[in-house]
Structure 1
Amino acid sequence: MADTNGSAQGEQPHADLAQDASNLTSQHAPPAEDERAAKRQKTNDTEPSAAADLTMKDSVPGQDLHDAPSKQENNGEAPKVDNRKTNVAPVKKEYIIERTGAPPAGTTASNDDDEAEGRTDTRHARDSRDDRDNGGGKKGKDKKKAKGGQNTERSFGYVADAIRLCNSRAMSNEFSPRECKFGDRCKMGHDLRKYLEEGRREDVTIWDGQCPVYAAHGKCPSGWKCRFVKSHMREVEHDDGRKELCLLDNDAPPGEGEAKAKDEQTNDEQRPAVYNVVDMQIKTDLNRKRTDFKQADQYIQWLNQQSKTTDEYHQARRDATEEDLQAIRAQFVDPPFKPSEKRRLYFGPETPALAPLTTQGNLPFRRLCVELGAQLTYSEMAMGMPMIQGYKADWTLLKAHESEIAPPTISPTANIVHDYDHARDLRFGAQVSANQPWIATKVADVLHRFVPHLRLIDLNCGCPIDMIYKNGAGSALLESHGKLERMIRGMNALSGEIPITAKIRTGVRNNRPTAHQVIEKLAFGSRDQRDRLGAPGCAAITLHGRSREQRYTKKADWSFIADCAALIKGYNDKKDSLTDTAAEPDPSTLANGGHLYFLGNGDCYSHEDYHQHIADAGVDSVMIGRGALIKPWLFEEIEKGQYLDKSSTERLGYIEKFVKYGLDAWGSDELGIQFTRRFLLEWLSFTHRYIPVGLLERLPPDLNDRPPAYKGRDELETLMASNNYLDWIKITEMFLGPVHPGFKFQPKHKSNAYEAEG
């Protein structure tokens, strides 16, 4: 067929690029003999001397420990030792605090950053459910086996009003309540005045007691449960002398501002400026298996048959005759339908992206980062199986703020890809995880059908967390290339006009990078498939310059990212030359018109890092994770091209904005305040690591440097630099009032915990 032949001609010239990809293995992985020799050498080495121990402790940053000079190299003299400490930030001496003895109670000494990608704390219970859905959680002995890990059993306590107000009263005026569908069986409170006097804590007094949600939108979805309710209620005296408690609504004319009764107290659809809210009926249909997956099932059946035929072909290749192989090849059939042509994307130096962040990649934080200059954002990683089962928790992750629905800000002179329509572009994309092609295919199907505002769907192929990895998802896909290719093809076929992208790591093992092989599969497809089916349809790839095994123990390998970027460039050059010929492939097989974008990720902490990576590594853009968690105005620095020495007042202003955005997203009632406090504490566990530019002896700052104990230029700056979680709680109380008696906070290590006193 014409389409197939066109694709074949388009993919054939890439044999040399595949060879370039294989050459990367020899550049970054030692030969087997050298590896065994290195192990023997390590075994035969004698114990290090005291001088060697000293050198290892005080080595110069960036210098390999094995490169320490020996006595022979210094004419028999002891080696000179650099007194600078490794990974210690160069704070000016006048700000350093000399401490002796044990650290204060509540101090967190951990520098582990795995929580930036780990699935922890608030969704631990759901993780257990996901493990069960993927084959875990067996009955009997295995079921009782406790899971290890520092974040196991993290709890934030139980927070609720003393009297729980029935939803039939929550949004109604005192004399016009809605009928309670449970009648006399309802165990909730129905006496509004008793609830306000005895059933809840007193109003929060920050912002002069004014509800930030009501001030922003003219209405408060939390109704009577709001902890600022006095600012949007009044007592109306009727002609008969009765006094009625009424809610105000700024949308109504003055004097007629009593809010109308609502069916539910916190209906997501009521929250203004929030998009991608999936109707509850859709989630119910998914949960009860009433959703029509006819088209997805048809393609999945073809994928399974394709995989089975491919296995037969590989098994028969050694001993079978050419006639037998031809018979097997004849079993291959074309897919039941072609993918739709995708909406074009653009990634460039002016579009820094906020990485998908577990826990802290929530809507309020993304909203703050967009306000500070982030041009692209991603949802937290949503689990594929719970999504197609209709679980609310995963669908909630796909909500986006109206600022994320706007097109990214780009330069008019930018090298825009052919047919790119900036007016149709968005900033927000969804990241999903799956361990089977059929799950990934159905996830793309439901996202295309039910989530209208998505820039792209990103498949997570790099999550290092054990639960994800052992179930065959995340970074496990880096060693299952055939499965990964089928997942991308299936997602591309069912995602409509939404492009498909992938985020990967260098590999699973430190000494065995496989990213170049994965990139080849994502860009070209396997050799057995590319001639018949064309490319899988991946529009962009993001490479985190670390392996799964490495986590965050070493710096990201940007030299390896640069090598992979060169491979991508060769692919794009071949595609560009191909489009000038008459044998142009079918557009549906070429994501983004044949231009594959490539982003780097890892250790970007300044505008200098950002622009250096783009210039030296050759990536199209950089995805920023921990750097944005520590200082979200990093996007502003990139835009302005300079360091910004943010004062403590400015930084506190960002915290205040986050709190307001959190109350807007999660509600201003007791539960919403708890959510906001919880996520603010998680964020403060990163922000305290920021060292103001004016306190550093030299620039640029390093993301992996940890500060010594130091004092700031004022008391507030000193407080915000504290690594004591008790100080973090004090900061939350500035905006959210005293902690609820039932609230608990457990930092990343369970040995540090806080319980509010009743």
Structure 2
Amino acid sequence: MTDPQDTQVRPAETNGQNPNIDSAAPKHPAPDAPADGGAGEPPAKKTKIDEPSTANGNDDHNRRKGIAPVKPEYIVTSKSRTVTAAQDDAAEASRHEEREGEKDQKKGKKNKGQNKNRSFGKSVDEKGLCWSRVHYPEFAHPECPFGPSCRFEHDLRTYLKNYKREDLKNELNGMCPVYEARGKCHSGWKCRFVGSHSTERETEDGRKELVLLEDEERKKNVQRLVPYASEDGTVNAVTTEDKIALSKRQYQTVRAEEYAKYIDQVSKELDAVNKRGYGEGEEAQGNDGQAKEEKEENRARYIEPPFLPSEKRRIYFGPETPVLAPLTTQGNLPFRRLCTELGAQATYSEMAMSMPLVQGSKSEWALLKAHESEMLPPTISPSDNVVQGYDHSKDFKFGAQIAANKPWQALKATEVLAKFTPNLRVIDLNCGCPIDLVFREGAGSALLDSPSKLEKIIRGMNAISGEIPITAKIRMGTKDGAPNALKNIERLVHGGYGSTVFDLGPPGTAALTLHGRSRQQRYTKQADWGYISECSALIKRLNEKTDSLTDTIREPDERKLPNGGRVYFLGNGDCYSHEHYNDHINNAGVDSVMVARGALIKPWIFEEIQAGQYIDKSASERLAHIEKFVKYGLEAWGSDERGVGTTRRFLLEWLNFTHRYVPIGLLEYLPPNIQDRPPVWRGRNDLETLLGSPNAKDWLKIT
């Protein structure tokens, strides 16, 4: 039941609460608006949040910057909870840190530290059940091809009694979520809830036989949201045969290899032009007739690209399409499915590395799996600003993000993605990952310092990807105080010097996302939405320039124009409420906002954006979201011992973020700031206190 104290709070109902946004947002005057923040209405007038407020009769002289303004009656100690930027980096880095640790073990490096001798258990049965028995009745099963040499158990009752852990009878009401949703459990006898879909029957010869149950009625009622979804409701699942073919180099990326050769040839031609002196002073040196002839000769030597970008599917980003950012480790299928259900209109896979994809890595291709709910078009009300030719019925919510440090790697990865996972909204190039392992390899944010390489990668991906549009996610730059996003954006939209010399057209970026921090900054400071606003204005001018060109006699080739000539621009950083979202749309001028840590801490932020108001979720409602994540996890990873362990692992990683949420009803001032760290507080009931605990042992209790 919902606690009576846990109620929905609207801005108009908060007693003297200040509805300000953080000071990092651009300071633009905004007209007055109703307090409910309704869609299509101007936002409420705002003042600095750090100034004293006397609206409730109490001076706010004691408010400290960086500390969440929890009401005094809920504070239990003067100690403060601190969460370091390194823990925020874990949202992007943990898989790659694990990979680095695996490399160290292979090289024979010794473990260091006082806990080097600790051992951790694995989520596996003491002795596994042979696959020839997993899905069959006790007496009606095929023979094991390995015979007596098989190392797995063949006696079903012995396995259930001695080697398999007992059923989870107190969790999820003892009902297998896979069986409940699909009418059949694919884990068979290995399921930790097998008692809910198995029974013992008497055979004709009087023996007692254990059999698995299937609910035909439930199987009939399973609704496929998209016709190409698999039996378990997923899409983009690459077959084992295809992954083996990639690993054995049996699948040839002919288009990527041919275009990579073309890129090298263009670079050599451009170098030749530069050596002749046709750089930035080209026009001044072109006064001489001979120089002009040589310039024309160089252009005549230019060879047409082997592939022109095809007619891409058009995409749309607008105020009604909040986006869930690509989140390494935590941006898994169950979490994306939960966020989609709560209102996210676009999602991305976890960042996948290009070379493992090309090599058929099972773990990397698993990142591209999506739930069928992510294959539906965004729920939008297209207006006049929708790009011409946009077909809403052919749009998806789910896109893939990849990272690469060389053009040929990105081209090969793009070709295999277009071949094996055609149901993608976009393929996004990661140009913002700050993690050392990725940066040292020249991928992620390292591409920001190599604009020529970055343009080559985007241009090549655009030519190879077929109908799938190409987008990019960048940061302000690599170093504090030296942002270069403006230069990179101009190059990604219109192209560099080479595109002018050889008339290549724009690189083909359909949308750009800017995270308002540098690589060096990580998460230590607030996102610079003032700089994002400058970049948004630049994008608008470049789009207008493209529109003016299309009105001239010499119209550009539509096959070279991304998204019909319009590049969408998204902002990213510190969005933690609908007020932040609306302010960024109205004042920063972005088409939409990408939400990252804000969604990890409270995934119902998308509900708040849709409703235009704060939603004070009760502890029981928040626990229901956790339970739903667990069900989705068991459906995705299986309900056997391994699947339960995987689900629990990702749940614990998610709880590392959810415990930072301070309920709206406990705050003195709104909006909440994602950078504020709360003092130790108690909730309005025991469950709320438990959900807000920073102690990992309490997270184990929740799981």
Please, what TM-score do these two structures have when normalized by structure 2? Answer: 0.85
State how far apart, in whole Å, the 1-side matches of 2:507 and 2:695 are.
Answer: 49
Equivalent residue for 1:231, pick from 167, 171, 196: 196
Q: 1:148 to 1:295 in 2, by over 3 A?
A: farther
Aligned to 2:493: 523
State how far apart, in whole Å, the 1-side matches of 2:580 and 2:492 are.
Answer: 27
State how far apart, in whole Å, the 2-side matches of 1:180 and 1:583 are.
Answer: 71
State how far apart, in whole Å, the 1-side matches of 2:672 and 2:396 are.
Answer: 32
Aligned to 2:585: 614
Equivalent residue for 1:92, pick from 71, 82, 87: 71
Contact persistence 1:124–1:153 (CA under 8 A): no
Equivalent residue for 1:566, pick from 528, 532, 537: 537
Equivalent residue for 1:379, pick from 340, 349, 359: 349
Aligned to 1:415: 385
Q: Structure 1 residue 159: deviation in Å?
A: 2.1
Contact persistence 2:82–2:677 (CA under 8 A): no
State how far apart, in whole Å, the 2-side matches of 1:717 and 1:197 are.
Answer: 39
Q: Confirm or deny that 1:333 pairs with 2:303.
A: yes
Contact persistence 1:115–1:358 (CA under 8 A): no
Aligned to 1:717: 688
Contact persistence 1:108–1:725 (CA under 8 A): no
Aligned to 1:120: 94
Aligned to 1:476: 446
Q: Structure 1 residue 144: deviation in Å?
A: 5.2
Aligned to 2:361: 391
Equivalent residue for 1:662, pick from 607, 617, 633: 633
Equivalent residue for 1:638, pick from 605, 609, 627: 609
Spell out the pairing of 1:229-268 with structure 2 (5 A cutoff).
Answer: 229-251=194-216
Spell out the pairing of 1:739-754 with structure 2 (5 A cutoff).
Answer: none
Q: 1:414 to 1:193 in 2, by over 3 A?
A: farther
Q: Confirm or deny that 1:351 pairs with 2:321.
A: yes
Q: Structure 1 residue 176: deviation in Å?
A: 1.8
Contact persistence 1:388–1:443 (CA under 8 A): yes
Greater CA deviation, 155-164 or 587-596?
155-164
Aligned CA-pair RMSD: 2.8
SS in structure 2 at match of 1:709:
strand
Q: Structure 1 residue 152: deviation in Å?
A: 12
Q: Which amino acid aligns with 2:448?
A: L
Q: Which amino acid aligns with 2:72?
A: K
Q: Structure 1 residue 209: deviation in Å?
A: 1.4
Task: Tell me the alpha carbon deviations over residues 256-287 of structure 1, each in whole angstroms, 9 at most, x when there is no partner.
Answer: xxxxxxxxxxxx99652100011111111110
Equivalent residue for 1:491, pick from 437, 446, 461: 461
Aligned to 1:12: none
State how far apart, in whole Å, the 2-side matches of 1:185 and 1:270 are.
Answer: 35
Equivalent residue for 2:623, pick from 636, 643, 652: 652
Q: Which amino acid aligns with 2:75?
A: I
Q: Structure 1 residue 243: deviation in Å?
A: 1.5
Q: Structure 1 residue 126: deviation in Å?
A: 3.8
Q: Confirm or deny that 1:196 pairs with 2:160.
A: yes
Q: Which amino acid aligns with 1:386?
A: P
Q: Structure 1 residue 639: deviation in Å?
A: 0.2
Q: Confirm or deny that 1:296 pairs with 2:256.
A: yes
Q: 1:459 to 1:659 in 2, by over 3 A?
A: same
State how far apart, in whole Å, the 2-side matches of 1:529 and 1:446 are.
Answer: 27
Spell out the pairing of 1:2-81 with structure 2 (5 A cutoff).
Answer: none
Contact persistence 2:78–2:679 (CA under 8 A): no
Task: Tell me the alpha carbon deviations over residues 307-330 of structure 1, each in whole angstroms, 9 at most, x when there is no partner.
Answer: 223234334428998366665544
SS in structure 2 at match of 1:176:
coil
Q: Structure 1 residue 180: deviation in Å?
A: 2.1
SS in structure 2 at match of 1:119:
helix
Contact persistence 2:229–2:372 (CA under 8 A): no
Unmatched 5+ stretches in structure 2: 1-47, 52-59, 220-227, 280-284
State how far apart, in whole Å, the 1-side matches of 2:115 and 2:416 are.
Answer: 32
State how far apart, in whole Å, the 1-side matches of 2:210 and 2:61 are.
Answer: 72
Q: Structure 1 residue 207: deviation in Å?
A: 2.9
Q: Confirm or deny that 1:603 pairs with 2:567.
A: no
State how far apart, in whole Å, the 1-side matches of 2:434 and 2:539 are.
Answer: 24
Q: Confirm or deny that 1:217 pairs with 2:207.
A: no
Q: Confirm or deny that 1:502 pairs with 2:450.
A: no
State how far apart, in whole Å, the 1-side matches of 2:72 and 2:519 are.
Answer: 38
Q: Structure 1 residue 167: deviation in Å?
A: 1.3
Contact persistence 2:577–2:609 (CA under 8 A): yes
Contact persistence 2:462–2:508 (CA under 8 A): yes
Q: 1:710 to 1:117 in 2, by over 3 A?
A: closer
Q: Which amino acid aligns with 1:455?
A: R
Contact persistence 1:173–1:245 (CA under 8 A): yes
State how far apart, in whole Å, the 2-side matches of 1:482 and 1:729 are.
Answer: 49
Equivalent residue for 1:178, pick from 122, 136, 142: 142
State how far apart, in whole Å, the 2-side matches of 1:147 and 1:546 are.
Answer: 34
Task: Tell me the alpha carbon deviations over residues 695-736 of structure 1, each in whole angstroms, 9 at most, x when there is no partner.
Answer: 00111110100110111000000011100000000000xxxx
Aligned to 2:653: 682
Percent identity, please: 57
State how far apart, in whole Å, the 1-side matches of 2:322 and 2:650 are.
Answer: 24
Equivalent residue for 1:281, pick from 232, 238, 241: 241
State how far apart, in whole Å, the 2-side matches of 1:702 and 1:710 are.
Answer: 17
State how far apart, in whole Å, the 2-side matches of 1:632 and 1:155 are.
Answer: 34
Q: Structure 1 residue 576: deviation in Å?
A: 1.9
Greater CA deviation, 316-325 or 456-465?
316-325
Task: Tell me the alpha carbon deviations over residues 116-145 of structure 1, each in whole angstroms, 9 at most, x when there is no partner.
Answer: 542315x6454567xx8xxxx899xxx456
Contact persistence 1:61–1:86 (CA under 8 A): no
Q: 1:61 to 1:157 in 2, by over 3 A?
A: farther
State how far apart, in whole Å, the 1-side matches of 2:110 and 2:277 are.
Answer: 47
SS in structure 2 at match of 1:178:
coil
